[in-house]
Structure 1
Amino acid sequence: MKRQLVPRLLLTVSLSVAAFVVLAGPAPKRAAPRNYTIEQFMKTIRFGGADISPDEQTVLFSSNQDGVFNLYEIPFNGGGQPKQLTFSKTDAIFVIGYLTDGRILYSSDQGGNELNHIYLRERDGAVSDLTPGEKAKFQFGGLSHDRKSFFYQSNQRNKAAFDVFEMDLTTMKPRLIFENPGGFFPGDVSPDKRSIALSRPYTSTNGDVYLYDIQTKENKLLTKHEGEVNNGPEGFSPDSKKLLISTDEGNEFAYVKAYDLSTGQSMVLDKANWDIAGDYLSYKGRYRVLSVNNDARTELKIIDTRTNQPIKLPPMPGGDVTGVNIADSEGRMIFFVNSSNSPSTLFSYDIKSGKAAPLVRGLNPEINADDLVSGEVVRFKSFDGMEVPALLYKPKDVKPGTKLPAILQIHGGPGGQTRLTYSPLTQYLVNSGYVVLAVNNRGSSGYGKTFFAADDRKHGDADLKDCVESKKFLTQTGYVDPVKIGIMGGSYGGYMTLAGLAFTPEEFAVGVDIFGVANWLRTLNSMPEWWGPQREAMFKEIGNPKTDSVALYNKSPLFHTERIKKPLIVIQGANDPRVLKIESDEIVANVKKNGVPVEYVTFPDEGHGFVKKENEITAYKAVKEFLDKYLKGPGQ
């Protein structure tokens, strides 16, 4: 008898569901997704950081809601419209934070040249440049723990090395506390102002952490090791007794250990089956903010160090919590929530009361969120059996038998990663009927150090083969037209686009190159001096122009443009310090000689990426029109 209870129960449930369906009638048919313009997608707000005021009553943030990144304030508990504090129409302004007296620090460069300066905004709105200097870069290094000064890094003395200065907030006079001999990147200064954490990269997969004593000038190696181990400083404990260090020693993924500065002993603090992407302590040390790069998503925990247990965050809309900033009192915090189909929303959260408030929503209210598409993590086998991850975006309501055009989207780097975050360009293309596959080819970060190093000295070869193999995956979906697959990318992804057209000329129907490398010999020789030791790491990963010129010539699309037979569009900023405009000028001129359709869109006021909405709209509209003409074709 008992054995009959299970089928009876199942039958009862089935009948109940059937009865409900009959009583409820047919489910309402969802309306077809609406098509939106690029102008509507670009009304989405992007953020550039946020901070909580000293009295914890307001939140400062930077956003591009007026077309260029500027500073805004809004009450901590929400309500009303943000108050605009700066009104730049040319150069992007990014928040650093409040000082204890309510004055504000921010950072800005000139036309995208990446030569940032640090500015002080007085309470009356007056602004002064605290770091004047021609052709020098200044980077904020944190407020001192006593809040009486701040630290910054400058390459004014030596363009290839960043020195560290302390700026007194009363006198506004800087003093040098670390003269960089070269080869080091400065990290945090300890709360007691005694030490500076330094990183020393040798390659993209090997590096050390040093501890510099400001008083004695001793520079001590903390991470002696053998083989390829990537070590980097995360930050000091509030009592200055420990330094958190990220390492992958003996492990495929990065984890964090706490190094005791008095004993020289270390213990594992946080470890996961993916890379620990960030690990830091709040001002008094009550909370530890831990983020894990979990398969292109950010998995975040805020751990109460008294119990070593995560605190319970309020229910949030689906997505990743990022940019956590905890007030000095440790009673309030702010953060962003973002997903592949939802742009960032800025939230405030009162830890004691448990109340959260959305302060600024990034999505343009003209867009129905239901019309946006979520990215799906997929994997495919590449030419040598290696499993390659990718993010798939499929248009909504694809009719059976439909064959859609598709575009491969390749990230920058090398060594970057496309993550499940919101992209207006991706949503615009998918909304326009394109399948988008963002390939995290070998060499991408986030999937272990073996995968990360798998493209070393094989750029434009093994990683490109991954992209070619991804076409099989798209074709097997059944809804992608195998002869209408293009390739698109920015920076290193732009190089992959050009490499795809030049080295596999029959594989991709079109190419979209956004400030991509065309000539490795020139690019590696012209890297910004302030990259310092990172230049040598790039030489070891990609090739040294002095000793590997033949190999670099062979993998540079510029010298093989006679093979490019498919339509190409190139986007370039005139002030780009990483990929010089001449790279794009030459690739366009050479490909035009082949009688191939080539379009070229340049911006005199942009660098390596976009900071102005107007320019993004122009660029993305040109990309879509190009794809409609040469990839989708008439009648689709």
Structure 2
Amino acid sequence: MKNVNNMISKKRYSIEQFINTESLLRASTSFDNQYTLYASDRSGVYNAYVTSMDGSTEPRQLTHSTSNAIFPVTFLPNNKSFIYESDEGGNELTHLYLQNELGEIKDLTPGNQVKAAFFDWNKAYTHFFYESNKRDARYMDLYEMDIDSYASKLVYENNAGYHIHAISSNKKYIALQKPITANNSDIYLYSAEAGHEHLSPHEGDVQYIPLTFDEQATYLYYLTDENNEFLQLKRMNLSTKEVEIVINETWDIVMAKFSPNYQYLMYALNQDGKIALHVLDAKTNEQIPLSNFPNGQLNSVSFSKDETQMALLLNSSDSPTNLYVYHFKKQEIKRLTDTLNPEINQVDLVKAKVIRYPSFDGLSIPAIYYKPHIAEGDKVPALVWVHGGPGGQSMANYSPLFQYLANHGYAILAVNNRGSSGYGKTFFKAADLKHGEVDLADCIEAKSFLSETGYIDENRIGIIGGSYGGYMVLAALAFEPDSFEVGVDIFGVSNWERTLKEIPAWWEANREALYKKIGNPYTDTAYIRSISPLFHADNIKKPLIVLQGANDPRVLKVESDEIVEAVEKNNIPVEYIVFEDEGHGFTKRENQIKGYKAIKEFLDQHL
């Protein structure tokens, strides 16, 4: 048997080289159809950048934060000023900021413990709508702000825990979603004249997710899995209440919206671990062919205001996110960025493959598999990756951590255990009130697939995950202590009783739905403690590394503090890394480098 350090890859790269690959988020277009605004971490922290849509200019940095991540959301009509969102050290209390053409910055939504998010423009682009919990920390209200005076007024007061999804262009209607459980929700239509109207009376578990109105506010477009395993796009005539199917696919439709002048209707399809974009002629409902489109995964899309172009962010498992512009008349797509570190040759990276394996009860479990370059006759260690959630999904995205580990000889199987989204409503709710049990069993069964490849060392398989996936790491070590050789916990829940009681105030609308998925910490205390690794930490006997953001509002730092302290009492190797300037996720390059390097060094030593 050969050690991982002797494994052969085409070329080895450092974590610094992988992290110095640029990461892009949130593309939007200017009002004059000339520029694209987006977020990039090229400077080491996410900042706002701009580039011309025809590719004639190099990207230019517009903000210069060295601490807090900045995520631009829209230009103003003057095409010089723009609005961005930013929080403090990852605490998720985002404010809206305006940066004008002189570089001057104004906090548009000031206040302590206030969270705000950009919502949409009005039809004339003289005002924009935003959500804020400044009136009641539990609920997001809808406001309208004038871009001349920056005075705002309350448009909709949210006193019942609705999610605000759309406002009609004539401002007559607001479409609301009311979550009941993670599998069941309702649509309400609000107007000043009629108040709240329930549009989706039903029995049983059915999802209803409002998306958008047509230009005349005749129809409300929404997603639903009513009488179907997957989410379909339907529309309701708001006068007659007649419903018709707009798009029916054999996978979930996860997004749909109109172009600025309603010429096109675009939708995104979650197709077996990949988000694919489709564009329809809004009048005929016919598909618009997207010629010469790269085989990439959609991250973001924004139409130019004249609807001749769209800016997209696309990536794949072996290619980081890049900015593209598609021209409809020319049927051409142009890549505007090259984000992969030039020191890395793409042929040295690994392409992910979608696989399936049977679980303990025969249920087919989908997973994304990253196979390293392996010399003939060698056996390599492997990691089972568990995504966040509950109810998240691993997709064939570019991951610098996965590529770094695969480049150094580790196979990675990103499991979509039962309870994951993207594979139908039956699969999604199959782990409800059984978390840390059946979903954990799915992860353990992944070892059989890995062992049967013939090139994975079955005695060197670890488990790794973040957030809910971090919980699954701790659950594996505590409840099935012989199942994996090591655990890598990235801000995972150790005590569900505390986490469910201490969820952020602005999650109030989802509190009951989360209780019905995991359990109620006030009435089901014995059960909640039975699935919480902290109360069973004396069973942990395999090496563990824990990474945590000090400002995390979802999984509090005490969750990691206490599990580390408990495992240390077992005289088991345990490492603990805390990032004082991060929240629920690590956005700064220097922190990613430190954390990912520590993970590999831990694995090299213990796996």
Q: Decide which of 403, 408, 413 is 2:384's aligned counterpart.
A: 408
1:485 aligns with 2:461: yes
For residues 200 and 430 of structure 1, the distance between their equivalents in structure 2, rounded to whole angstroms, comes to 42
In structure 2, what is the equivalent of residue 511 of structure 1? 487
Q: Decide which of 297, 306, 309 is 2:286's aligned counterpart.
A: 309
In structure 1, what is the equivalent of residue 243 of structure 2? 266
Distance 1:217 1:45, change over 3 A: farther
In the alignment, structure 1 segments of 5+ residues that lack a partner are: 1-30, 632-636
Q: Is the 8 A contact 1:161 1:532 kept in 2?
A: yes
Distance 1:308 1:282, change over 3 A: same
The residue identity in structure 2 corresponding to 1:318 is: N
- Compute the RMSD of aligned alpha carbons: 1.2
1:384 aligns with 2:352: no
1:544 CA drift (Å) = 0.5
For residues 303 and 490 of structure 2, the distance between their equivalents in structure 1, rounded to whole angstroms, comes to 37
In structure 2, what is the equivalent of residue 327 of structure 1? 304
For residues 296 and 349 of structure 1, the distance between their equivalents in structure 2, rounded to whole angstroms, comes to 23
Q: Is the 8 A contact 1:182 1:532 kept in 2?
A: no
User: Alpha-carbon deviations, 1:168-205, whole Å to 9, x = none?
Assistant: 12221111111111221111111001111111000000
In structure 1, what is the equivalent of residue 176 of structure 2? 198
Q: Decide which of 469, 477, 485 is 1:501's aligned counterpart.
A: 477
The residue identity in structure 1 corresponding to 2:281 is: D
In structure 2, what is the equivalent of residue 17 of structure 1? none
In structure 2, what is the equivalent of residue 12 of structure 1? none
In structure 2, what is the equivalent of residue 538 of structure 1? 514
For residues 348 and 273 of structure 1, the distance between their equivalents in structure 2, rounded to whole angstroms, comes to 28
Q: Is the 8 A contact 1:403 1:480 kept in 2?
A: yes
Which deviates further from its counterpart, 280-289 or 301-310? 301-310
In structure 2, what is the equivalent of residue 26 of structure 1? none
For residues 193 and 131 of structure 2, the distance between their equivalents in structure 1, rounded to whole angstroms, comes to 20
User: Alpha-carbon deviations, 1:540-567, whole Å to 9, x = none?
Assistant: 1100011100001011000111100000
In structure 1, what is the equivalent of residue 88 of structure 2? 110
1:148 aligns with 2:126: yes
In structure 2, what is the equivalent of residue 243 of structure 1? 220
Q: Is the 8 A contact 1:259 1:267 kept in 2?
A: yes
1:73 CA drift (Å) = 1.0
The residue identity in structure 1 corresponding to 2:349 is: L
Q: Decide which of 318, 326, 330 is 1:349's aligned counterpart.
A: 326
SS of residue paired to 2:336: strand
1:66 aligns with 2:43: yes
1:80 CA drift (Å) = 3.9
Q: Is the 8 A contact 1:253 1:273 kept in 2?
A: yes
1:209 aligns with 2:148: no
1:153-168, aligned counterparts within 5 Å?
153-168=131-146
> Percent same amino acid among aligned pairs?
48
The residue identity in structure 2 corresponding to 1:456 is: D
In structure 1, what is the equivalent of residue 58 of structure 2? 81
1:465 aligns with 2:418: no
Structure 1 or 2, whichever has the larger Rg, is 1
Q: Is the 8 A contact 1:468 1:507 kept in 2?
A: yes
For residues 199 and 512 of structure 2, the distance between their equivalents in structure 1, rounded to whole angstroms, comes to 22
1:164 CA drift (Å) = 0.9
In structure 2, what is the equivalent of residue 286 of structure 1? 263
1:378-457, aligned counterparts within 5 Å?
378-396=355-373, 398-457=374-433
For residues 200 and 32 of structure 1, the distance between their equivalents in structure 2, rounded to whole angstroms, comes to 51
Which deviates further from its counterpart, 359-368 or 569-578? 359-368
Q: Which structure would you say has the larger RCO, counting Cα contacts within 8 Å and 6 or more residues apart? A: 2
1:315 CA drift (Å) = 1.3
Which deviates further from its counterpart, 201-210 or 356-365? 356-365
Q: Decide which of 40, 43, 56 is 2:20's aligned counterpart.
A: 43
The residue identity in structure 1 corresponding to 2:586 is: F
In structure 2, what is the equivalent of residue 229 of structure 1? 206
User: Alpha-carbon deviations, 1:202-246, whole Å to 9, x = none?
Assistant: 000000011110x32601111111111010111111222211111
In structure 1, what is the equivalent of residue 5 of structure 2? none
In the alignment, structure 2 segments of 5+ residues that lack a partner are: 1-7
TM-score (norm 2): 0.97
For residues 572 and 298 of structure 2, the distance between their equivalents in structure 1, rounded to whole angstroms, comes to 45
1:585 aligns with 2:561: yes
User: Alpha-carbon deviations, 1:414-445, whole Å to 9, x = none?
Assistant: 00000011000000000000010000000000
User: Alpha-carbon deviations, 1:292-346, whole Å to 9, x = none?
Assistant: 1111011221112244222222313332244121112111211122111111110
1:183 aligns with 2:161: yes
1:32 CA drift (Å) = 5.5
The residue identity in structure 2 corresponding to 1:173 is: A
1:50 CA drift (Å) = 1.3
1:628 aligns with 2:604: yes
In structure 2, what is the equivalent of residue 368 of structure 1? 345
TM-score (norm 1): 0.93
The residue identity in structure 1 corresponding to 2:448 is: K
In structure 2, what is the equivalent of residue 550 of structure 1? 526
For residues 596 and 119 of structure 2, the distance between their equivalents in structure 1, rounded to whole angstroms, comes to 35
Q: Is the 8 A contact 1:160 1:182 kept in 2?
A: no
SS of residue paired to 1:429: helix
Which deviates further from its counterpart, 474-483 or 72-81? 72-81
Which deviates further from its counterpart, 232-241 or 522-531? 232-241
Which deviates further from its counterpart, 262-271 or 305-314? 305-314
The residue identity in structure 2 corresponding to 1:63 is: S
Q: Is the 8 A contact 1:202 1:533 kept in 2?
A: no
Q: Is the 8 A contact 2:211 2:221 kept in 1?
A: yes
Q: Is the 8 A contact 1:326 1:334 kept in 2?
A: yes
Distance 1:115 1:294, change over 3 A: same
For residues 567 and 25 of structure 2, the distance between their equivalents in structure 1, rounded to whole angstroms, comes to 37
In structure 2, what is the equivalent of residue 573 of structure 1? 549
The residue identity in structure 1 corresponding to 2:83 is: L
SS of residue paired to 1:157: coil
In structure 1, what is the equivalent of residue 452 of structure 2? 476
Q: Is the 8 A contact 2:27 2:301 kept in 1?
A: no
The residue identity in structure 1 corresponding to 2:481 is: P
For residues 508 and 216 of structure 2, the distance between their equivalents in structure 1, rounded to whole angstroms, comes to 31
SS of residue paired to 1:428: helix
In structure 2, what is the equivalent of residue 295 of structure 1? 272
SS of residue paired to 1:454: coil
The residue identity in structure 1 corresponding to 2:528 is: L
Q: Decide which of 109, 117, 136 is 1:131's aligned counterpart.
A: 109
For residues 176 and 545 of structure 1, the distance between their equivalents in structure 2, rounded to whole angstroms, comes to 35
In structure 2, what is the equivalent of residue 56 of structure 1? 33
1:97 aligns with 2:74: yes
